[in-house]
Structure 1
Amino acid sequence: MPRDGTATRARILDAAQRLVIDNGFNATTVDAVLAAAGTSKGAFFHHFASKQDLAAALVDKYVAADLEMLELGLAAARAAGDDPVERAVAFVRWYEEQADEIMAGTTGCLYTSVLAEMELVEAGTSDPITKAVVVWREEFAALLRDALPARSDVDVDALSDHVWVTFEGAFLLARTTSDPGHMRRQLRVMRVLLESLLRG
């Protein structure tokens, strides 16, 4: 009976994700991925037609996890009750409270590593990232519109994007300073500013 290769594929993807985040896609060789995953070249090419195919699979995996994380934040917002302001604040607070766990075991974000590689952008490998960013914007913007019904001076989409920008900036700051606590602190600042705007 043939063995299920799901575990091997997952191991390759996990190893590749760590290496790409740390070193970039072009600097990550297939041999380095194989060494980190503890598997063979034959196993690699059984699961991935090429290094480019690996990149696409990595993006799909990361985007799926990212959208699951979004849904957890939305669930926290729904659990906060009927007050639209409380729901919007609870969304950001949930990530603030999970920040240390989010940062555990990572030095950065795969999105940044992929978007820095023009060959991946031009090949369309980054397209799922763009779609994920739009989903984040639309979902949090819906919470913000409920919380800011009378504020025509606030660009709700831009404010929603700012949460995503805070995540990416915090990853960069954490990597630059080797201090993963920046994620929690930056999200706290974001929450405090958001509360000030929504309750002001």
Structure 2
Amino acid sequence: MPRDGTINRERILDAAQHLVIENGFAATSLDQVLTAAGTSKGAFFHHFDSKLDLGRALTERYAAADVAQLRWALEQVADVEDPAERVVAFVRCFEEAAEEIMSAQSSCLYVAVLTEQQLVGNGTTDLVTRAIEAWREEIARLLEAAAQDRGLDLGDTDALADHVFVTFEGAFLLCRSTGSPAHMRAQLGVLRRLLGAALGVRAA
């Protein structure tokens, strides 16, 4: 293990993320995290001051990965010349990665974080807000470019951008409630076709 303990810290965060997504933050005990991570309390407190500190670090890491995934998709479609087709291609990136997304997690950590008053109180949820705003800003930019290029009035592009983000969250809920991960791909496919129709993209 590296002398800075990076591997052990990541193992703790990995274990905590799985448990918090599955059970919620309050229902996840420190002992459960330690058992799942195969580490000790001494090792835990070397990296984290408290369970709340763990919650913040967990959210910070998750939000950073979430925004990185957004940037990845934007890079994938950067060379698509038609702005409207770029919007559709952006959604298709996630549609094609749906199985990978669902194999990595059964739900979204944001839901678990936002329902915990103690995490709201210590500012952890601000990390979630900033990530969501990053998604809104980038998707709205894609939509505005498409609307301008095709002479369309899409109305409130920020709200429409939020709807794209909300589709992910709703799909997680649907997958979780039905026990079928297939809903993620299905819902993203519906979103892609609706956006394609609204933007006049053929065979979207």
Pair in the same fold by TM > 0.5: yes
CA distance in 1, matches of 2:21, 2:39: 20
Q: CA deviation at 1:153?
A: 5.0
Q: CA deviation at 1:167?
A: 0.3
* Native 8 Å contact 2:147 2:154 kept in 1: no
How big is each residue's C-alpha offset from its partner over 1:33-87, in whole Å with a ceiling of 9 and x where there is no partner?
00000000000000000000000000110011101100111012213x2111111
Equivalent position of 1:170 in the other structure: 171
Equivalent position of 1:101 in the other structure: 100
Specify the SS of the correspondent of 1:26: coil
Q: CA deviation at 1:119?
A: 1.6
Unaligned runs of 5+ in 2: none
Equivalent position of 2:116 in the other structure: 117
* Native 8 Å contact 2:106 2:176 kept in 1: yes
Q: CA deviation at 1:152?
A: 3.4
Q: CA deviation at 1:185?
A: 0.4
Equivalent position of 2:52 in the other structure: 52
Q: Say if 2:157 is the partner of 1:156.
A: yes
Specify the SS of the correspondent of 2:106: coil
Equivalent position of 2:27 in the other structure: 27
Equivalent position of 2:13 in the other structure: 13
1:53-72 residue pairs with structure 2 within 5 A? 53-72=53-72
Equivalent position of 1:86 in the other structure: 85
Equivalent position of 2:76 in the other structure: 76
Give % identity.
58
CA distance in 2, matches of 1:127, 1:142: 22
CA distance in 2, matches of 1:21, 1:199: 38
Using the size of structure 2 for normalisation, the TM-score is: 0.94
How big is each residue's C-alpha offset from its partner over 1:159-199, in whole Å with a ceiling of 9 and x where there is no partner?
11111100000001100011011100000000000000000
Q: 117-126 or 165-174: which moved more?
A: 117-126
Q: CA deviation at 1:4?
A: 3.1
Give RMSD over aligned pairs: 1.2
CA distance in 2, matches of 1:4, 1:115: 31
1:126-141 residue pairs with structure 2 within 5 A? 126-141=125-140
Q: CA deviation at 1:121?
A: 1.1
Q: CA deviation at 1:107?
A: 1.2
CA distance in 2, matches of 1:122, 1:10: 25
Unaligned runs of 5+ in 1: none
Letter in 2 for 1:62: Y
* Native 8 Å contact 1:77 1:86 kept in 2: no
Q: Paired residues, what number?
A: 198
Equivalent position of 1:39 in the other structure: 39
Equivalent position of 1:142 in the other structure: 141
CA distance in 2, matches of 1:145, 1:115: 30
